[in-house]
Amino acid sequence: MVFYIKQNDTSPSMLARLEDASGNAINLLGASVRFHMSAISSSITKVDASASIVTPAAGTVQYDWDALDTDTIGSFQAEFEVTYVDGTIETFPNDGYVRVEIIRDIA
């Protein structure tokens, strides 16, 4: 998945469906979710913030951008980190990253 957004934009939000290896939705009832993003060429985290659970049973989450999240043009990698009720942690996608492209705004 590649998500495109213009520099300094805060819309649209990033919406994702978290799935297991078989493509089944992850049940997020009672869980919490964080969104992490860093530049592909860097190990420094640009974003580490709470994400919203939209539909727990369907594994649907959403991240609403802050203006500082998109102020830098470039290629980024992102992931959603889920903390379940029992305290265990799982990161999605677990076979790579969501690619985020922040494209230069003309004006």
Overall number of domains in the chain: 1
CA distance 31 to 22: 21
Q: How many CB atoms lie within 10 A of CB 3?
A: 17
Give the CATH number for residue 98.
Answer: 2.60.40.3350
pTM: 0.94
What is the tens place of the pLDDT at every residue in 18-70? 999 899 999 999 999 999 999 998 889 999 999 999 999 999 999 999 999 99
Residues above pLDDT 70, as percent of the chain: 100
How far from the centroid of its chain's Cα atoms is residue 58's Cα?
Answer: 16
CA distance 30 to 56: 8
DSSP 8-state code for residue 23: S
Range of the domain at 88: 2-103
Closest CA relative to residue 14, chosen from 94, 72, 79: 79
CA distance 26 to 32: 12
